[in-house]
C-alpha cells in the first residue's frame, strides 16, 4: 500500500494511507488504537471507515487526528485531560473535539497542542511543568488558547512544547531541565519564549530534546 503520513506512540504506531484511510497497530491497553477495544494488533487495522484523514499525531498512550473537513478527533488515555473532551475519561474510539476547524495537531506525553485553521494555537492536558503555555500550572481538559499570535506548526515532547509562528520565528516553553528549549538555559518557562532570531520551517520534539529546520534548509538540534 501507499502511505502519506505516520506517527509513533509509546508502544504503538499509526499511519494514513494515500487514500485517506487511517490505520494503527501495536499496544492498545488504553484504547489508543481507536478500535473500540483494548486488544493489541500485530499488523495494521483500519480505524473506522472514514477516508478523509489528513494529519495524525501520537505520543504516550493517546492519539489525535484531523479529517479533511478540519474536524479534530482524539482517543486513548485521558488521565490528565489530554484528549480535550472536558473530562478525564479514556476513549476506545474516535471522539470529536468541539466544532472548531483545525489544520495541525501534536501530542505530548500527557498534553496536546493544535493549531486551528485561523492560525490560533490551543493546548490542553497535563500542565505540571507549564507545557500548556498558559502562564500557570492549571491542568486543562479542554482547549485553551496560547496568547493571540498566529502559528503555522507545533510539536510536543514529554513535557515541553515548541512552535513556529506564521512569521517563521521559533518559540518554546515548559520544562527546560535538559536544555530542550534551546535558549541556552535549563530554566522552565510557563509561556512561550523566543529562540533566537532565525526563521524556521519545521520543528520536532523527542522526549527531552528538540530539532528544527531553518528556512534555509539547515537542520539544528538541542
pTM, 2 dp: 0.96
Whole-number pLDDT of residue 134? 86
Query: What are the beta bridge partners of residue 63?
Result: 58, 75
> What is the per-residue pLDDT across 6-39, written as a single tens digit (0 to 9) for each?
999 999 999 999 999 999 999 999 999 999 999 9
What DSSP string runs through 23-74? EEEE--TTSTT-SSS---EEEEEE-SS---EEEEEEETTEEEEEETTS-EEE
CB-facing half-sphere around the CA of 147: CA atoms within 13 A: 13
User: What average pLDDT does this structure show over 204-214?
Assistant: 97
- Residue 136 — very low, low, confident or very high, per pLDDT cuts 50/70/90? confident
User: How far is residue 114 from each of residues 1, 82, 152, 186, measured CA to CA in Å?
Assistant: 29, 12, 10, 25
* Structural contact between residues 21 and 48, judged by C-beta atoms closer than 8 angstroms: no
* Structural contact between residues 180 and 157, judged by C-beta atoms closer than 8 angstroms: yes
CB-facing half-sphere around the CA of 119: CA atoms within 13 A: 10
With a cut of 90, say whether residue 153 has pLDDT above it: yes
| CB atoms closer than 10 angstroms to residue 36 | 14
Whole-number pLDDT of residue 135? 78
- Distance between CA 173 and CA 45 in Å, rounded? 36
- Residue 175 — very low, low, confident or very high, per pLDDT cuts 50/70/90? confident
- Distance between CA 212 and CA 87 in Å, rounded? 33
Amino acid at each position: 500500500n501507499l502511505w502519506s503520513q505516520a506517527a509513533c506512540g509509546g508502544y504503538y504506531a499509526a499511519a494514513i494511507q494515500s487514500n485517506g484511510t487511517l490505520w494503527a497497530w501495536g499496544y492498545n491497553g488504553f484504547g489508543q488504537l481507536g478500535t473500540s477495544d483494548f486488544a493489541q494488533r500485530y499488523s495494521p487495522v483500519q480505524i473506522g471507515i472514514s477516508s478523509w484523514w489528513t494529519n495524525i499525531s501520537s505520543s504516550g498512550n493517546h492519539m489525535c487526528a484531523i479529517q479533511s473537513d478540519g474536524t479534530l478527533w482524539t482517543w486513548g488515555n485521558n488521565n490528565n485531560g489530554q484528549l480535550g473532551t472536558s473530562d478525564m475519561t479514556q476513549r476506545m474510539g474516535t471522539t470529536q473535539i468541539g466544532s472548531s476547524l483545525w489544520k495541525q495537531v501534536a501530542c505530548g506525553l500527557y498534553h496536546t497542542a493544535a493549531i486551528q485553521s485561523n492560525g490560533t494555537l490551543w493546548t490542553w492536558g497535563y500542565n505540571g511543568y507549564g507545557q500548556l503555555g498558559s502562564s500557570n500550572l492549571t491542568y486543562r481538559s479542554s482547549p485553551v488558547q496560547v496568547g493571540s499570535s498566529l502559528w503555522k506548526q507545533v510539536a510536543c515532547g514529554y513535557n515541553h512544547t515548541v512552535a513556529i509562528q506564521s512569521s517563521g520565528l521559533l518559540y518554546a516553553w515548559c520544562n527546560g531541565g535538559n536544555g530542550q528549549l534551546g535558549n541556552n538555559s535549563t530554566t522552565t518557562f510557563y509561556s512561550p519564549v523566543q529562540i533566537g532570531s532565525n526563521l524556521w520551517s519545521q520543528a520536532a520534539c523527542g522526549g527531552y530534546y528538540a530539532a528544527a529546520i531553518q528556512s534555509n534548509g539547515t537542520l539544528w538540534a538541542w
